[in-house]
Amino acid sequence: MKVTSYAVARPAYYDRGAISVVQNYSASLAPHAQVTRWTTTVASGRKMNIELANVRLLTDSAATVKSAYDYGAIYITSGAVTFSLCDLILNTNTVNTPLYFQMSGVPTLYAGEIVFAATASYSTGGVIQYLLAMKATDYAA
């Protein structure tokens, strides 16, 4: 019979059935309404630490009429609340001028919470190159 003590510390999160979660979306797109590009939901009995999330936007070809609402974003939904984790609005119409944003900190998501990426371009004409990426560790709660 094995005897253990409840005084023993619980294993670190990375020793509790950790799984790497990587999401990435990269494409050059013409103007479009908001579209979800990828999504991840934290399963029951699990937690997830988002280690890295970034958004990069680049004008491939200039818009005829530039909108103030050309963007790429990574969002978190917790219950009825959705908020931006990492977002970027493309405020230039200059070709080949990249804009890049990377989140800081390590947010923890709990069972049922969702992280997703979306893009949109409300300009007239032009093409935007989008990159929305995330690296996280999913583990037993």
Q: Is 65 part of any domain? A: yes
What value does the mean pLDDT take over residues 53-64? 96
Q: Which residues contact 61 (CB under 8 A, 6 or more apart)?
A: 95, 125, 126, 127
The pLDDT of residue 125 is: 96
Range of the domain at 43: 16-140
pLDDT at 54 over 70: yes
Q: Is 42 part of any domain? A: yes
Residue type (1 letter), 107: P
Query: What's the structural domain count of the chain?
Result: 1
CATH number of domain containing 50: 2.60.120
Q: Is 70 part of any domain? A: yes
Mean pLDDT across the chain: 93
* Distance between CA atoms of residues 116 and 118, nearest Å: 7
Lowest mean pLDDT among 3-12, 23-32, 48-57: 3-12
Q: Is 8 part of any domain? A: no
pLDDT at 115 over 70: yes
The pLDDT of residue 6 is: 65
| Report field, pTM of the whole predicted structure over 0.85 | yes
Q: Is 99 part of any domain? A: yes
Q: Is 2 part of any domain? A: no
What value does the mean pLDDT take over residues 42-68? 96
Q: Is 103 part of any domain? A: yes
